[in-house]
Structure 1
């Protein structure tokens, strides 16, 4: 699975952290969540942390799910 790319974060003077992905706002964190996020970024891989916090990451099973017989019927929508 490829590493996430294209994430940046900006720390504002009011303590708010804005995470962007390819120039588009992906998350805005305030207060304790912003502090926890900054601590995780400092301790780990920043791109991976930002991908996880924004929910913009893949699990690696999308192709498997797409090819499952239940998902090949051409239906759109729920059950």
Structure 2
């Protein structure tokens, strides 16, 4: 999970870092009015979607582990009978 946080934060924080230190890089024309800055910003959506998808996959595994632990905890508790 920390790796996903690092990926998403580095992608997000790279926008102001690159635009401040290498502004000419974002102005490089690719096709017509499309430049690298626009492609980079649109790529943020793909990165965000991939990170969200990966979080869902990892949380599904954690949910399965939590359900198994809960089942084991219920199975190991002694049952009390009323007198």
TM-score above 0.5: no
Q: When you count strand as a share of all residues, which structure comes out higher? A: 1
TM-score calculated relative to the size of structure 2: 0.29
Q: When you count helix as a share of all residues, which structure comes out higher? A: 2
Answer with 1 or 2: which has the greater Rg.
2
TM-score calculated relative to the size of structure 1: 0.30
Q: Which protein, 1 or 2, shows the higher relative CO under an 8 Å CA cutoff with sep ≥ 6? A: 2
